[in-house]
Structure 1
Amino acid sequence: MKTDLDADLKSGALHDHLAAIAEDAARVILPYWKVGTEVFAKADDSPVTQADREAETLILSRLAALYPDVPAVAEEQSEAQGRPEVAADRYWLIDPLDGTKGFVAGKESFTVNIALIDAGRPVAGVVTAPANETTWRTAPGGGAEMRRYGETGPEGWRAIKVRNRPDDGIALLSHSVTDEEAARLAARHGCTRWQGTDSSLKFCLIAEGRFDAYPRTGPTSEWDTAAGQAVLEAAGGRVLAEDGRPLAYGKPGFLNGPFVAMGG
Structure 2
Amino acid sequence: MIAAAKPDLIADLASGALTEALADIAEDAARVILPYWRTGTVATTKADHSPVTLADQEAEALILSRLKDLYPDVQAVAEEAVADGGAPAITGDWFWLIDPLDGTRGFVAGKESFTVNIALVRGEAVVAGVVTAPATSTTWRSGPHPDGGAFRRRFGEGWQPIKVRDRPANPIAVMSHSLTDDEARRLASRYGCMDWQGTDSSLKFCLIAEGRYDAYPRTGPTSEWDTAAGQAVLEAAGGRVMAEDGTPFRYGKPGFLNGGFVAVGG
Output the TM-score relative to the length of structure 2.
Answer: 0.96
- Mapping of residues 153-232 of structure 1, within 5 Å: 154-232=156-234
- Tell me what 1:24 maps to: 28
What percentage of aligned pairs have identical amino acids? 73
State the secondary structure of the residue aligned to 1:191: coil
CA contact (8 A) 2:129 2:232 kept: yes
Within the candidate set 62, 67, 70, 2:66 is matched to 62
> Quick one: distance in 2 between partners of 1:133 and 1:87?
35
Which whole-Å deviations, capped at 9, do the CAs of 1:199-229 have from their partners, x for residues lacking one?
0000000000000000000000000000000
Aligned residue type for 1:211: Y
- Mapping of residues 131-142 of structure 1, within 5 Å: 131-140=135-144, 142=148
Q: By how many angstroms is 1:84 displaced?
A: 2.0
Q: By how many angstroms is 1:130 displaced?
A: 0.1
Q: 1:238 to 1:87 in 2, by over 3 A?
A: farther
CA RMSD of aligned residues (A): 1.0
Mind listing any 5+ residue stretches in structure 1 that lack a counterpart?
none
> Quick one: distance in 1 between partners of 2:91 and 2:41?
33
- Tell me what 1:77 maps to: 81
Aligned residue type for 1:216: R
Q: 1:108 to 1:46 in 2, by over 3 A?
A: same
> Quick one: distance in 2 between partners of 1:87 and 1:76?
19
Which whole-Å deviations, capped at 9, do the CAs of 1:64-121 have from their partners, x for residues lacking one?
0000000100000001101124453210000000000000000000000000000111
- Tell me what 2:152 maps to: 146
Q: 1:254 to 1:87 in 2, by over 3 A?
A: farther
Which whole-Å deviations, capped at 9, do the CAs of 1:28-77 have from their partners, x for residues lacking one?
00000000112111001110000000000000000000000001000000
Mind listing any 5+ residue stretches in structure 2 that lack a counterpart?
none
- Tell me what 2:18 maps to: 14
Number of residue pairs aligned between Structure 1 and Structure 2 = 260
> Quick one: distance in 2 between partners of 1:263 and 1:168?
13
**Pair 1:46-2:74 in alignment:** no
CA contact (8 A) 1:136 1:204 kept: yes
Within the candidate set 252, 255, 258, 1:253 is matched to 255
Aligned residue type for 1:187: S
> Quick one: distance in 2 between partners of 1:214 and 1:10?
28
> Quick one: distance in 2 between partners of 1:37 and 1:88?
38
CA contact (8 A) 1:113 1:125 kept: yes
Within the candidate set 98, 114, 121, 2:118 is matched to 114
